[in-house]
Amino acid sequence: MNTTTPSPSPSTASPQAPTCLPAVGDVLAIVAGPRDGAAYVASRLAGREGGSVTGCATSPAFLGGRAFRADATVAALLEVAPSAQRREDLHIGGAGDAFVRLAISAGARGPQWAVMGNDTAHTLAMLSAWHDLIVVQRPTDPHADPLDGLGILLMGTGLPCLVLPAICAPSGVFDRVVLAWDGSRPAIRAIRAALPLVAAAQDVLLLDGCAPRDGNADAPGFEPMAFLARQGIEATRRRVHASPAEAGATILKKAHQFKADLLVMGAYGHTPLREKLFGGATRHVLTHGDIATLLYH
């Protein structure tokens, strides 16, 4: 897959001063347009310590779940081939050119542009192999069902996914972070993946809904508070009690009470591809959440 980048003008190619924020790595922005909130946030995150960013253009139908309907398959046959669309986008004034210029101005190095065609699985597999984080913004269409598109990103790439709310003030820094902890492997992976974002926060709250560990377990368990302390991160632990059916609503309620601008949690789901069955908490947060959420399956 060719992701050729046009040469930026000298005025936009000036090197960016390094930041003191923890490096995030190489970031993949899934965007419907070159100036989406996801494009800016991904570029700012990648700009920490010289990371790269790739913008991957997709249709609003993908993120809104409409790309999986039968009529969408017919419409897809009429679309311009991704390679031709990419070449057109990278011309001066095109969507790819606009993304590259925005990314450079935000501090990212070597920004690139890709176009997602009909074979989304192949495109995402190739891109996710060399990126560390996905950033995507929820669709603004109130009738959209984002679970299908987000499900592919979460479960088909193996990468943590930062999901921005439909309406947000794009920023590469989150000041108040809530970590949802239930002792599961997805929760562990989510907390570890979010470390560069958590380390830059001013206030961190751990919502602990984990059952007490068996003292006779044959292997040590992950202790989130100890892990955060080793990274020099001060956090507050707060116990929460909720049934599985109420977990998602409880997490969002506590996050709002804390005035969080980022929620970190594990994601649950099962295949088949078009019928992702998210766990109750994940589904509730993806459906009703209005704050940025980092999820890891």
β-bridge pairing 236-239 and 161-164: unpaired
Asked whether this chain's domains 27-164 and 176-296 adopt the same fold, the reply is yes
Query: How many angstroms separate the CA atoms of 201 and 71, rounded?
Result: 45
State yes or no: pLDDT of 103 exceeds 70.
yes
pLDDT per position as a tens digit, 59-70: 877 876 555 444
What per-residue confidence (pLDDT) applies to 291?
94
What per-residue confidence (pLDDT) applies to 5?
44
* Peptide bond between residue 82 and the one before it cis (omega within 30 degrees of 0): no
Out of 5-9, 147-151, 164-168, 261-265, give the one with best mean pLDDT. Answer: 261-265
Instruction: Determine what percent of the chain is predicted with pLDDT higher than 70.
Output: 80
What per-residue confidence (pLDDT) applies to 276?
39
State yes or no: pLDDT of 212 exceeds 80.
no
Instruction: Quickly state the pLDDT bin for 279 (edges 50, 70, 90).
Output: low
DSSP states of 159-217: S-EEEE-SS----S--SEEEEEE-S-HHHHHHHHHTHHHHTT-SEEEEEE-PPPPPTT-
User: Left if phi > 0, otherwise alpha if psi is -120 to 50, otherwise beta: which for 66?
Assistant: alpha
Q: Indicate the pTM of the whole model.
A: 0.84
Q: Output 140 or 2, whichever has higher pLDDT.
A: 140
pLDDT per position as a tens digit, 118-132: 888 889 999 999 999
What per-residue confidence (pLDDT) applies to 65?
58
Instruction: Quickly state the pLDDT bin for 25 (edges 50, 70, 90).
Output: very high
Mean pLDDT, the chain, rounded, equals 83
Assess contact for 111 and 100: CB atoms under 8 A: yes
State yes or no: pLDDT of 176 exceeds 70.
yes
End-to-end Cα distance, the chain: 26
State yes or no: pLDDT of 201 exceeds 90.
yes
Structure tokens at 167: 């309406």
Q: Output 212 or 91, whichever has higher pLDDT.
A: 91
What per-residue confidence (pLDDT) applies to 17?
44
Domain boundaries, the chain: 27-164, 176-296
CATH 3.30.420.10 fits 176-296, yes or no: no
74: DSSP letter: H
Q: What is the CATH number of domain 27-164?
A: 3.40.50.620
Q: Output 154 or 262, whichever has higher pLDDT.
A: 262
What per-residue confidence (pLDDT) applies to 79?
61
What per-residue confidence (pLDDT) applies to 199?
95
Out of 14-18, 69-73, 83-87, give the one with best mean pLDDT. Answer: 83-87
pLDDT per position as a tens digit, 259-273: 999 999 998 754 433
What per-residue confidence (pLDDT) applies to 267?
85
Instruction: Quickly state the pLDDT bin for 198 (edges 50, 70, 90).
Output: very high
Instruction: Determine what percent of the chain is predicted with pLDDT higher than 90.
Output: 48
